[in-house]
Structure formats: C-alpha cells, structure tokens
Amino acid sequence: MSSKPARPHASLAVRLTIIFTLAAVLVILLGGGALYLFLRAGLANQAISGLDDGLHLLRARIHDQPVAQESRAHWQRALTEFTRPDSLYACRLYDEDGQLVFESPRIAALPASDFPAPARDPALRALHPVKAPGHVEQHWLLSSVYIDRLDGARWRVDFAYDNEYRHELLEGYLHAMLLGVVLAVILFALIGQMAMRYVLMPIHSLSRQVGDIDAGQLDRRISPAWPRELLPIVSAMNSLLDRLQISFARQAQFSADLAHELRSPLHALVSVTEVTLNRPRNEQEYRATLEANLDEFRHLQRLSDDMLFIARTEQAEHQPLDRVAFDIRPLLDGLYDLFDALAESKQIGLQFSGAGTVYANRDLLRRALINLVSNALQYAHSRVSLSVVQDGADSVFTVEDDGDGVAAAQLPFMFARFYRGDESRSRPGGTGLGLSIVKAIAERHGGTAGVENGERGGARFHIRLPGKPAPDLQT
C-alpha cells in the first residue's frame, strides 16, 4: 500500500513575510482608522456648528425686521441673498398658516418629507443628514425649527446646510488610506522578502555545511561561529554527528569481528565435509563427521543468538526499559541451584551472598549474572563467589574467581566483542560475546560494568546498577 508523499510546508521566508506584512498593514489600518474616526467626528462638529450659525443668522433676519417692511418681495430679496447658489445654506419658509413664503432654488431638490419634525424650542434642532436625488449626489444636513416673529407669529423654517465638501474630504481621505494600504502591502512584502532572505542566509549556509558531510567525513564538526539563535541547532547537529560516528565505527568493527569469527567455523565445516567426501566412508565415519559439524552449527547458532541480543539491546537504547523493584535473594538462590551441579563436577565451591531490593529488569539481570558466573566457573581453580551490596541507591554485583587473573594490558578490552587476548581466558565453544552482553545490559540500565584483578589473584567482575529514581516533589 503506497502512501501519498507529504506536501511540503510553505516557505519559512514566505510565512514570515506574510506575518510581517499583515502586522504592518494592521498598524496602518488601526492608525488610519483612528484618524478617520477623529476626522469624521471633527468635521461633523464643524457641520453642526455651521448649521447653527446659519440658523442664527436666519432667525435674526426674520425676527428683527420691522413689520411695516414685510412683503413677499422683501423676503425674497433678503432670503435670496442669504441662500445664493454659492452659499452653504438653503431654506424653505412657511408662515403661521402653513403657507409657503419662500423657497431657495437649491432646496427644491429636497422634498419637504425629508425634513424632520420641527423642534418646539427654538434652541433645539432636529438634524437629519440626507443625500439629495439627482445625477450628482449632494450631502445635506437638514433641520426644521420654529422662529417667533416680533408680531407674535411663529413661522416654520426647513433649513439645509451643504455638507458636500466635508463628505468629499472624508471620501478622499478614505480612498487615499485604502490606496496607501495597497501600496504598503506591496512595499512591505518586498521589504519583508528581502529582509527574510538576509536573515535566513545563515540557515542556508548551515544547510550547505551539513550537506557537505557524508559517511566518510563523520569526524567533521560544524563550527560554532553562527548567530546565537542557531547555536542550539548547531549543538544538536554536532551531537548527532558524534552519535553517528560512534555508531558507524561500532558497526564497522562489529562487521569485521563477525567476519573473522564466522570464518573459522565455516572453514572447518567446509574442510571436514570435503575430506569426508573425498572417498566413500562407512556409516560410523559419516556419523562422526556429522557430529563434528553439529558442534560447529551449535556454535554458529549461539553466535547468531548473542549477536541478535546485542543488536536488539542497542536498538532499544533510547527506549524506556521495563524495570521493577524486587527482592534479589530468590534470584540468587535460583542461580545457585542452576550452577551447583556444574560447580560440583568441577570441584569448585560456590558462595552467593547478599540480600535487599534491586531496581532492574529481572530477565536481563539474570542473563548478565549467568554470563559472569559461567565465565568465572570456566577459569576458577576452586572458588567462585557472587555478592550483592547496596552502595547508596546503587546495587553492586560482584563475581570473583580464584583463577590466574587477567593481564593488566588486557583489562580495558575484556568487554570488547570477540576479544581474544589470552588463551587462558578463551574457552572452547564460546562466542566471545558473553562479556559484551553483560556490558550492554548494564548500560541499558544506565549502569556500568568493569573488571579488575582480585587481591588474592583471579578476576573480579562487577556490575553497578542505579536505584529507583525518587519521585518529583511538586509544591
């Protein structure tokens, strides 16, 4: 079942540029919007003040004229001058009987129904902004008021104030702001893209330097001369190269050792088989050949089992290990019963001591101790001891024999795979991986394995395993 290839994520430079541009545009919009609202409120106040001023002038003209001078022609001349075409004012005047006294030309486009109900108090006004119909939109501020005459009559005035130029000013500002936003998006996108390219140059350089390191150059490391933000990545990459170098070296050494170990049994199998097939043999001779081959096959089987165990242990190195706290005494008693017959046949005394609770994987610990005791029984003269002591939170297992010991020059290599340093420490049928398995198990627990010569001769192997970590106390 084939899986679809994962789609690549958007470019980091593109994402940063978009964020940078959106942030800049947002600041412009907020600032421009706030200025627009402030400007609109200021212009609205100016328009209301202009309307009030016009009403005040109109009231003075109507209220203060002598009665003897009143005539329709007089009002037309006075109000026509007041509402001339270049003026900001237009009005429609009704007498106390509701008869139309005067109507300026510009107010003709504003139906009487558009005007609000007149205010009873002359100090008050009813405002109503409208758009006048026609080919060209005009914006007016409308008000209706009553004006008391000297003769006691109350006249009604529909008054209009031309607010077109203020509206055009706001529209012009809004269009300019929107155009500025569009230009800002383009400008900030270009600037952001160039800035991101410059900022990301060290990342590209780091990528090229890492890409130049291949399997044959794992000893190379990335120099620390990078911006501070990239230092954690550089440190992580160098740590990764350290692990890769160790892993490659371990695999190369393991492959070489494995080829060397397989060569001898395979060569023996081929040689014995060829000799047997050179001429006809009787049943007894064929049986002897098969038995000899079987021994070599068993050796190869043990070798493959040990190799597989080490490989699995190393693969699981960074995975949590199933460990429990348990009493060590039953495990020691079981090991004593396991080796008692073998030790008695070799006339070797066993001494297992210790008690307490250990924190470990029971199966892995048992295998490590079996390997150590088996190794000690192979080289001991008369005595093998296994002891367990608690050193603080750690558990220390010591296996000691009274054999010939280990040459000082060979001690650092005793846990190496397939190591054959001294024929006296090499037993027939062994795979050369027993002590390597012991070390792998100890390290899998986060512990250590070591070897030294005892004070009274013989070799002393020990495993130190850490105790159970204390739970975190959160206040």
| Three-class DSSP category at 38 | helix
Q: What is the pLDDT of residue 245?
A: 81
Amino acid identity, residue 145? V
DSSP letters spanning 188-205:
HHHHHHHHHHHHHHHHHH
Q: In the predicted model, is pLDDT for residue 70 greater than 70? A: no
Q: In the predicted model, is pLDDT for residue 397 greater than 90? A: yes
The rounded distance, in Å, linking the Cα atoms of 460 and 457 is 9
Supply the DSSP symbol for 163: -
Q: What is the pLDDT of residue 236?
A: 85
Q: What is the pLDDT of residue 126?
A: 45
pLDDT band per the 50, 70, 90 thresholds, residue 65? low
Q: Which residues of 192-220 are buried (b: 16+ CB within 10 A; e: fewer)?
A: bbeebeeeeeebeebeeeeeebeeeebee
Q: In the predicted model, is pLDDT for residue 150 greater than 80? A: no
Residue 258's CB: how many other CB atoms inside 10 A? Answer: 16
Q: In the predicted model, is pLDDT for residue 46 greater than 80? A: yes
Q: Exposure of 318 by Cβ count < 10 A (0-12 exposed, 13-18 middle, 19+ buried)? A: exposed
Helix (H) or strand (E) holding 309: helix 283-315
Q: Angle at Cα 388 formed by Cα 382 and Cα 391, nearest 5°?
A: 135
pLDDT: which is higher, 259 or 104: 104
- Residue 400 has phi, psi (to 5 degrees) of -130, 140
Least confident segment among 109-118, 326-335, 377-386: 109-118
| Three-class DSSP category at 370 | helix
Find which of 175-189, 380-394, 444-458 is predicted with most confidence, using mean pLDDT.
Answer: 380-394
Tens of pLDDT along 422-432?
554 454 555 66
Tens of pLDDT along 267-315?
777 877 787 788 887 888 778 888 777 877 777 777 677 667 766 766 6
Q: Exposure of 374 by Cβ count < 10 A (0-12 exposed, 13-18 middle, 19+ buried)? A: middle
Q: Exposure of 16 by Cβ count < 10 A (0-12 exposed, 13-18 middle, 19+ buried)? A: middle
Tens of pLDDT along 215-256?
777 777 877 777 787 788 888 888 888 888 877 777 777 677
Q: In the predicted model, is pLDDT for residue 154 greater than 90? A: no
Q: Answer whether 102's CB lies under 8 Å from 93's CB.
A: yes
Residue 464's CB: how many other CB atoms inside 10 A? Answer: 17
Find which of 58-67, 405-414, 421-430 is predicted with most confidence, using mean pLDDT.
Answer: 405-414
Q: pTM of the full predicted structure? A: 0.49
Q: In the predicted model, is pLDDT for residue 72 greater than 80? A: no
Measure the CA dihedral 226/228/229/235, to 10°: 70
Distances (CA, A) of 398 to 328, 354, 365, 408, 415: 14, 10, 13, 19, 15
Q: Which residues of 155-165 are buried (b: 16+ CB within 10 A; e: fewer)?
A: bbbbbbbbbee
